[in-house]
Amino acid sequence: MQSKDRINDFVVQIATVNGTGSSSANTLLMKAIFRMGIPVIGKNYFPSNIQGLPTWYEIRVTGEGYLARSSKVDIMVAMNAQTYAEDLACVVSNGILIYDGSWPRAELESRPDISVLPVPLSKMCNESFTGARARILMKNIAYVGVIAALIEIDRDVVRQLLSETFTDKPDLVESNMQAFELGYDYTQTEFNCPLENRLVPMDAMSNHIMIDGNTAAALGCVYAGATVGSWYPITPSTSLLDAFGKFCKQLRQNPETGEQNYCIIQAEDELAAIGMALGAAWNGARAFTSTSGPGVSLMSEFLGLAYFTEIPLVLFDVQRAGPSTGMPTRTQQSDILAAAFASHGDTRHVLLFPANPEECFWMAVSAFDLADRLQTPIIVMTDLDIGMNDWPCPELTWDDSYRPDRGKVYSARELSEMDVFARYLDVDGDGICYRTLPGEHPKGAYLIRGSGHNKLGGYTENADEYLEVVDRLRRKFDTAAELVPEPVIETSNKSSCAIVTLGSCEGAVHETRSKLAAEGVQTDYMRIRAFPFSKSVIEFLADYSQIFVVEQNRDAQLRSLLQTEAGVSADKLIPILSYGGMPIACEDIYEPLLKKITQGKAA
């Protein structure tokens, strides 16, 4: 049973049909709460479809500032008759269900433990607006009004947001406000307002923005100075290149001549997309591509080539649920192993694991610097949850003294002063060689090849010459471990038990740890932010006898990597896994973890 007043701590879920324009209404609702200074997250659960299938939007109001979804629904706005039964079933006891009462439904009255509020949304909108599309859209705004009355959203904030959305269309501000008032006034008149679940303004969101990871990563690419983006559309990574294009148009186009200081190429497939990025990077541009799991499979051949020929490259893998086509609109972290060892032969890649949009931004920049520094592909492993959902983040910051690190590249002048240049000499002993760019100087020329080559770049099938190159590549990977972002570590010195996780699990793990701490169970914490594992990752792991590894895939892929690459014995790594495609929630971790800690104690 819930306590009476639940201020700034509840979930509103809206069940609609995709293609009905509800997403702007849902964003309006979430943004209004955000503008009231209250931490809020929005998660969109949408189908791989354009129109007509069920879709849900979860708004979690969380005064505590938790970042994970909740698995409980306090207020359900059931706008889709197809899913009435399941929407009714998932409301918590004492919760609320709102539905379009234009057509009363007796079956929705079957749960005496919740309050059902029928609001004649269609009827009201049909009376007030003309045109089928307008009526559907206004119905969405009307349910925003209903919720606003119930949880006390400030109407002025709503008006302000609408006027920002429709800057050039004041008529639309008025008609949207009219729809909002229809829902708002009806609710105030007919029901007891506000609910026990309601908002009280806070000041927790100043200097914060609401942004999705794909937008933030795209902005990172702009700020890293990337000029060539080649890609093939695939959910959930498409919006990354879309955003890159939008920002480039805004920030990189000469307003007078229309000249564009960038080139975006929509390729014919993922093979070509990465080939183009590779060609551009070989030629000295900062180039990248973005994709999801199926694209990584297709790109593996080129990833191997880039690894072996040592060409800088940035790849974003916005992970979705696999295997194969899998569930394109559901999230997972199931490409970890595929990405780490993408391509045949002894191949290994540097991976970065951002946990939120803010990290997507700066890790995108780091990825380009690391790619140039290490002359190898850097794969930024985000996921659908980070990439496509809006997250509250501290404002992004930028240091104007930043200069791209282009790594070891000989200039024409340096080449002219040299007797001979050879491509794969480990001059500095760190496994990273000096490269040259095509066209710079005749002395810099060499033929780059995916076939066996010696340290001079020449073709070889000689064992010793081959070993010299592949063993140096292995050493270069050790150098990478010193350069990649360090883990986030929180220790209390009180615990022998640690939770290790990565990426978008962070919010749910953080919430779990708070909940455990409240129960008197202390846990230490490490969030890994890159592969290969740095020294501090290895050292942390050595300190604990029981390590819970939380990740979003079936096969405990991070755990495998910790075994093989960090030398941690399997018996102390306990997997906690969530892989149904929904973003991980605290309850996915809390119960299993508590059970296993207890078991450990009993044994």
C-alpha–C-alpha distance, residues 464 and 429, integer Å? 18
Which amino acid type is present at position 457? G
| Site residues (CB under 8 A) for another protein, limited to 393-432 | 395-400, 402-404
Please give the DSSP secondary-structure letter assigned to residue 409.
B
C-alpha–C-alpha distance, residues 461 and 165, integer Å? 63
**What Rg do the C-alpha atoms of the chain give, in angstroms?**
27
Shortest distance, position 339 Cβ to another protein, whole Å? 19
Residue 107 is encoded by which pair of tokens? 């079956």
By the rule CB under 8 A, 20 interacts with another protein: no
First-to-last alpha carbon distance for the chain, in angstroms, is 34
By the rule CB under 8 A, 282 interacts with another protein: yes
By the rule CB under 8 A, 437 interacts with another protein: yes
For another protein, the closer of residues 403 and 494 by Cβ is 403
Element (H, E) at 95: strand 91-100
Out of 196, 301, 414, 565, name the contact with another protein by CB under 8 A.
301
For another protein, the closer of residues 52 and 442 by Cβ is 442
Span of 60-68, 248-256, 329-337, 548-556 interacting with another protein by CB under 8 A: 248-256
| Site residues (CB under 8 A) for another protein, limited to 180-219 | 208-211, 219
3-state secondary structure 182-211: HHHHHHHHHCCCCCCEECCCCCCCCCEEEE
Q: Are 149 and 194 in contact (CB under 8 A)?
A: yes
Span of 36-44, 96-104, 298-306, 504-512 interacting with another protein by CB under 8 A: 298-306
For another protein, the closer of residues 180 and 223 by Cβ is 223
Shortest distance, position 440 Cβ to another protein, whole Å? 8
Shortest distance, position 404 Cβ to another protein, whole Å? 6
Out of 126, 188, 260, 479, name the contact with another protein by CB under 8 A.
260
Span of 138-146, 221-229, 484-492, 541-549 interacting with another protein by CB under 8 A: 221-229
Number of residues that bind another protein (CB under 8 A): 74
The residues, any chain, with a CB within 8 Å of residue 121's CB and separated by 6 or more, are 79, 100, 101, 102, 139, 142, 143, 146, 182, 183
For another protein, the closer of residues 448 and 538 by Cβ is 448
Please give the DSSP secondary-structure letter assigned to residue 258.
-
By the rule CB under 8 A, 303 interacts with another protein: no
Helical segments of 152-269, H only: 155-165, 170-190, 213-223, 238-251
| b (16+ CB within 10 A) / e for 304-331 | bbbbbbbbbbbbbbbbbbbeeebebbbb
Out of 76, 148, 240, 277, name the contact with another protein by CB under 8 A.
277
By the rule CB under 8 A, 121 interacts with another protein: no
| Site residues (CB under 8 A) for another protein, limited to 454-513 | 459
C-alpha–C-alpha distance, residues 158 and 124, integer Å? 20
C-alpha–C-alpha distance, residues 277 and 90, integer Å? 46
Phi, psi of 126 (to 5 degrees): -65, -35
Shortest distance, position 229 Cβ to another protein, whole Å? 10
Shortest distance, position 273 Cβ to another protein, whole Å? 8
Out of 72, 408, 449, 475, name the contact with another protein by CB under 8 A.
449
Relative to beta strand 350-352, strand 377-383 is: parallel
Distance of CA 163 to CAs 35, 170, 175, 454, 519, Å? Answer: 14, 7, 11, 64, 46
For another protein, the closer of residues 430 and 440 by Cβ is 440
Shortest distance, position 262 Cβ to another protein, whole Å? 7
Span of 21-29, 118-126, 267-275, 325-333 interacting with another protein by CB under 8 A: 267-275
Out of 104, 438, 567, 600, name the contact with another protein by CB under 8 A.
438
| Site residues (CB under 8 A) for another protein, limited to 549-568 | none
For another protein, the closer of residues 129 and 282 by Cβ is 282
Out of 123, 441, 455, 515, name the contact with another protein by CB under 8 A.
441
Q: How far is CA 183 from the centre of its chain?
A: 34
Element (H, E) at 137: helix 132-151
Identify the three-state secondary structure at position 289. Answer: strand
C-alpha–C-alpha distance, residues 289 and 27, integer Å? 28
Span of 245-253, 346-354, 368-376, 478-486 interacting with another protein by CB under 8 A: 245-253
C-alpha–C-alpha distance, residues 71 and 153, integer Å? 23
C-alpha–C-alpha distance, residues 542 and 536, integer Å? 10
Out of 54, 63, 225, 581, name the contact with another protein by CB under 8 A.
225
Out of 15, 153, 276, 370, name the contact with another protein by CB under 8 A.
276
For another protein, the closer of residues 282 and 544 by Cβ is 282
Span of 437-445, 494-502, 514-522, 595-603 interacting with another protein by CB under 8 A: 437-445
Shortest distance, position 356 Cβ to another protein, whole Å? 14
Which amino acid type is present at position 405? D
By the rule CB under 8 A, 168 interacts with another protein: no
By the rule CB under 8 A, 223 interacts with another protein: yes
By the rule CB under 8 A, 314 interacts with another protein: no
By the rule CB under 8 A, 90 interacts with another protein: no
For another protein, the closer of residues 183 and 220 by Cβ is 220
By the rule CB under 8 A, 368 interacts with another protein: no
For another protein, the closer of residues 92 and 311 by Cβ is 311
By the rule CB under 8 A, 255 interacts with another protein: no
| Site residues (CB under 8 A) for another protein, limited to 24-63 | 35
The residues, any chain, with a CB within 8 Å of residue 452's CB and separated by 6 or more, are 459, 460, 461, 465, 466, 469
Distance of CA 267 to CAs 260, 262, 373, Å? Answer: 19, 16, 27
Q: Is the dihedral of CA 581, 584, 585, 588 positive or negative?
A: positive
